[in-house]
A = this chain, B = another copy of it.
Amino acid sequence: MPKYFIALLFALTSLHVYGQQKVIDAIFSNALASEVAYENLRILCETTEGRISGTPEAAAAVEFTRQIMASMDLDSVYLQEVWVPRWVRGDKEVARIVSTQIGSVDLTAVALGRSVGTGPDGLSAKVIEVMHLSDLEELGREGIEGKIVFFNRPVDQAHYNTFEAYSGAVDQRFHGPAEAARLGAVGAVIRSVTTAYHDHAHTGVTRLNEDGPNIPAIAVSPVGADKLSSRLKHDPDLKFYIRTTSHQLPDVISYNVIGEIRGSTYPDQIITVGGHLDSWDNSPGAHDDGAGCMQSIDVLRIFIEEGIHPKRTVRAVMFMDEEISQRGGNKYADLAHERGEKHYFAIESDRGAFTPRGFSIDSNQERLAAIQSLKPYFTPYGIHEFFSGGSGVDIAPLKNYFDMALVGLVTDSQRYFDLHHSSNDTFDQVNRREMQLGTAAMAAIIYLVDHLDILE
């Protein structure tokens, strides 16, 4: 090839890259200067707090996000019907240490998601403290029967990645009660799975034994767990009293909420950007995952305001029921398959609206490499991490049907498990600029994979 031709090619490529970087810069500037998504998140948190699937709050969140998108200049806005579970916490939980020797004290507690209640009278029993699920086998039925099992292993703070720290302790919450029940326990108490040391209790779903037995199960705050542990040392015969009235009602109808910008060139190819609309019923669900929903809608706003006409159809999806049984995500994938849709790319934001640090990419090697080649566009915005990993719970079912790239927005993980699944996950814990950098990161990667056609 003649040298001048190479030089020309190089110049054209540079111009091309330069042109794209200008779009990326415009996306970031727009996001950082905008209050829209943040103010909508404020309203969502204030008016639909506790929007676990099947509740009136969840229905209000469906209608609120539908209205937001209906007021935008989108090509279509619609609902996707989903049957969802309807688990009800009932009365405020009571969790009380009762000791004739050292007195009684109430602990801050919250029933675990899906757990059964004690009934109105509550239950009272001796407590056996364990640190690992394997302790149950060692203790055997004789050590456990008739007792409340207290799982008290804290998260290991020494991990840099708090998702790893969380994963290292959440077995207690997810499997602990079901395992204890099989050995005759009458109740289970879990130390909240959190990186914070405070008096908030953190819930989350617990596994049920399909054919029983199942027992009441609560999480106590870290402060409460330490109280219980230290009093057990003084009085091993103390009783613990639990009262929860949680119960399961029949499934009800709810919805995924969807808004679309129709693609200019390949309208039948779909790009999904989403978060989940439900939150735990004890929480405003600001980071988990009200923010992910508002960011997804804001990607569409930015495209419209910046005059970006995507080649492919870009859909913002508010998934329903991530927290309990992921019905919304599964329904979305099933319908996409049934309707013969083509899915090109999907990205989810469900790790908290903190400063974005990168993308976790679930795809084949070619698409992984293609996405990793985009890194230079993002490093000016502090986004450096492009690695192979899981995407998001709501978009993952698309893998069942489509050969495509799925991506999870990776954010700074240090604060997430301080507030995750607790009443502490409030709007004021979200920083507008951090949230909007995440919005921009998603808009930018969607623009690039669409504009450059690199995932075909």
Is A28 a contact partner of B433 (Cβ separation < 8 A)?
A: no
Bound together, the chains give a CA A158 to CA B195 distance in angstroms of: 32
Q: Which of A157, A357, A379, A433 has the most CB of B within 10 A?
A: A433
Query: In the complex, what residues of B have CB within 8 A of residue A157's CB?
Result: 32-33, 433
Let me know if A29 is at the binding interface, CB within 8 A.
Answer: yes
Number of copies of this chain in the oligomer? 2
Q: Are A412 and B355 in contact (CB under 8 A)?
A: yes
Which residues between 318 and 358 of chain A lie within 8 Å of chain B, taking CB atoms?
355, 357
Does any Cβ of B come within 8 Å of A209's Cβ?
no
Q: Which of A224-232, A234-242, A301-309, A380-388 contacts B (4 or more CB under 8 A)?
A: A380-388
* Known A-B contacts A355-B414, A415-B431; A381 and B29 likewise in contact (beta carbons under 8 Å): no
A414 touches B431 (CB 8 A): yes
Instruction: Tell me if A425 counts as interface (CB < 8 A to partner B).
Output: no
Contact A382 B385 (CB under 8 A): yes
B412–A159 CB distance below 8 A: no
Chain B residues whose CB sits within 8 angstroms of the CB of A111 once the complex forms:
none
Chain B residues with CB under 8 Å of A357's CB are 382
Contact B414 A29 (CB under 8 A): no
Please name the residue on chain B nearest to A38 by beta carbon. B197
Residue A171 CB within 8 A of the other chain: no
A434 at the interface (CB under 8 A from B): yes
For A28, list chain B residues within 8 Å (CB). 158, 160
Q: Is the CB of A414 within 8 A of B385?
A: no
| Chain B: CB-nearest residue to A380 | B160
Complex Cα gap A151–B308 (Å): 36
Interfacial chain B residues near A415, Cβ < 8 Å? 431, 433-434
Cα–Cα distance between A357 and B414 once the two chains are bound (Å): 13
Chain B's closest residue to A196 (CB) is B432
Q: Interface 1/0s, chain A 355-387, versus B by CB < 8 A?
A: 101000000000000000000000111101100
Question: Bound complex: CA of A195 vs CA of B437, how far in Å?
Answer: 14
Contact B158 A32 (CB under 8 A): yes
The interface centre, meaning the residue of A160, A162, A418, A437 with most chain B CB atoms within 10 A of its CB, is A160
Q: How far is the CB of A164 from chain B (nearest CB, A)?
A: 12
Task: Report the Cα distance A159→B431, complex, angstroms.
Answer: 15
Given A380-B160, A382-B160, A418 and B431 touching (CB < 8 A)? yes
On chain B, the residues within 8 Å of A385 by CB distance are: 382
CA distance A160 to B438 in the complex (A): 12
Residues 5-33 of A contacting B (Cβ, < 8 Å):
28-30, 32-33
Would you give 23 A-B contacts (Cβ < 8 Å), ordered by A? A28-B158, A29-B158, A30-B158, A32-B158, A32-B159, A32-B160, A33-B156, A160-B380, A160-B382, A160-B437, A195-B433, A355-B412, A379-B384, A382-B384, A382-B385, A384-B384, A412-B434, A414-B433, A414-B434, A414-B437, A415-B431, A415-B434, A418-B431
Q: Which 9 A-B pairs have the closest CB atoms?
A: A29-B158, A384-B384, A414-B433, A33-B158, A33-B157, A414-B434, A415-B431, A32-B158, A355-B412
Other contacts beyond A28-B160, A157-B433, A415-B434: 18, CB < 8 A:
A28-B158, A30-B158, A32-B157, A32-B158, A33-B158, A160-B381, A160-B437, A195-B433, A355-B412, A355-B414, A357-B382, A379-B384, A412-B412, A412-B434, A414-B431, A414-B434, A415-B431, A418-B431
